[in-house]
Amino acid sequence: MKKSSSPLAVRLSEYAFYLPVLVFFFGPISWLLLASINSDPSSAWQIPVEVTLNNYVQLITESDLLLWMGNSMTLAIGTMAVTVVLSTLAAYPLSRVPFPGKAVFMYALLLARVMPITAVIIPIFSLAVQLSLVNTFAGAILILSAMQLPISLWIMKNFVDSIPVELEESAWLDGCNRLTGLIRIVFPLMSPGVAVTGLFAFLAAWGDFLIPLIILRSPNTFPIAMGLYRAFGDQGSVNFGFLTALSVLYSVPSIALYLFARQYLVKGMTAGGVKM
């Protein structure tokens, strides 16, 4: 890849934008990091007088950290898998096959998702009860996936739209039928879409609190989002060491996935060999 060297003025103006952005986004988070290694953390931003890893050590030795991590992984990976597979399957017909009422359907998808969770939580829960999904990972994963699907379907359809039909048509001439053409030509080209919908689905499920709260009732199914509440005790007391250290650990997989998915976005395009 060739990178055009920009004039100095442009570069400087870029950094002039980066700096405040970095301060704004990272500044508040620095409290979290500093408090997590402080032997006497509090609600105020402060440089630790005594640096310690005790908060992390205690998390690993004294809490159910590994259990929560495992449960969160089950939820997030499960949701990511269901969302990616179902939206990849659905995106192709949504993009290529005309059928009556498609525009209405696509909008209805998005709009239905707008309903505030407070208005739909009761029917969602009632349905989960009817289907015996309460207290099952499958239930939480299916609901989380369903909530993620509208956005995923839109993004994936968007990607298929951008893949020229001509590519497929040439494959049909080579003897592929529609299905094998789909598998050999279209699916590989959808990889940036897969990366971004997969990332969104993972992050949404990893960070969700409400669905696990209503669906996963027994402590050995709690994800990290609920483990976090162990930081809160009687009369609103807060264990800042526990809260901040767990939050830092909670964020690591998301950041790692983001960095991984970014590479995948780029690779997906170059490997797909799109030449226009």
Partner 1 sequence: MLSINAQTVTLFGRRVSRRRLGELSLLIFMLPALILVIAFVIVPAVWAILISFTNQSLLGPNARNFSFIGIENYLKLFNDPGFWNSLGTSFVFVFGSAFLGQFVIGFTLALLLKQAGVASRGLIGGSVLLAWVIPEIVAVYIWGSVLSFQSGSANQVLLALGMEKQRWLIDTPLLSIIIVNIWRGTAFTMLLFSSALEAIPDTLYDAAAVDGASRWERFRHITLPLIRYTILLDFILITMGTFSVFGIVFAMTGGGPLGRSEIIGVYIYRNAFEYREIGYGSAASVVMLIINLTLALVYLRFTRVKWTVEG
Partner 2 sequence: MKTVKLILALLLVVIPLTVPVLAQDAATLTVSFPGDPRSETVNALIEGFIAMKADQGQPVNIVINEPTEGYGDQLLLDFGAGVGPDVFSISAETIPEYVASDLIMPLDDLVAAWDEWDNFPQGMKDMPSMNGSVYAIMYNTDTRVLFYRSDVLEAAGITLPFAPTSWEEIFAAAEQIKANVPDVIPMEVESGTIWGEGTTMDGFFMLFRGANGNFLDPEDGKWIVESPALLDAFSFYERMFGEGYSAAEPFMEPEPWVFWLQEGLANGDVGMAVVVNVVWGLYAPEGPWAIENRDEVLSWTPMPAREPGAGINGLDYVSMGGGWGWAISNATENAELAWEFVQYMTSADAITTYTAGVGGIPSRLDAAVDDPHVAAIVEQVMPYQSFRPLSADYTRVSEQIQIATEKIMLGEATAQEAMEQFAAAVEGIVGADNVKRLPLD
For the segment 162-181, give every residue that binds partner 1 (CB under 8 A). 162, 178
Q: Is 258 helix (H, G, I), strand (E, B) or coil?
A: helix
Which of the listed partners (partner 2, partner 1, none) does 207 bind, with a CB threshold of 5 to 8 Å by partner kind?
partner 1
Binding mask 54-93 for partner 2 (x = CB under 8 A): ----------------------------------------
Residue 269 found at the interface with partner 1 (CB under 8 A): yes
What lies within 8 Å, CB to CB, of 248 at 6+ separation is: 32, 33, 36
Smallest gap from Cβ 73 to partner 1, in A, equals 15
- 129 near partner 2, rule: CB under 8 A: yes
The least CB distance from residue 19 to partner 1, in Å, is 10
Q: Exposed/middle/buried for 193, CB within 10 Å: 0-12, 13-18, 19+?
A: buried
Query: Which residue in 58, 113, 125, 187 binds partner 2 (CB under 8 A)?
Result: 125
Look at residue 190 and give the partner it binds from partner 1, partner 2, none, a contact being a CB closer than 5 to 8 Å depending on partner kind: none
What is the rounded CA–CA span in Å between residue 188 and residue 268? 8
How far, in Å, CA of 51 to CA of 192, rounded? 42
Q: What is the DSSP letter of 51?
A: B
For residue 12, state whether it binds partner 1 (rule: CB under 8 A).
no
Q: Counting contacts by CB under 8 A, is residue 228 touching partner 1?
A: yes
Q: How far apart are the first and last CA of the chain?
A: 16
Under the binding rule (CB under 8 A), the answer on residue 31 touching partner 2 is no
Sign for the CA dihedral angle at 146, 152, 158, 162 comes to negative
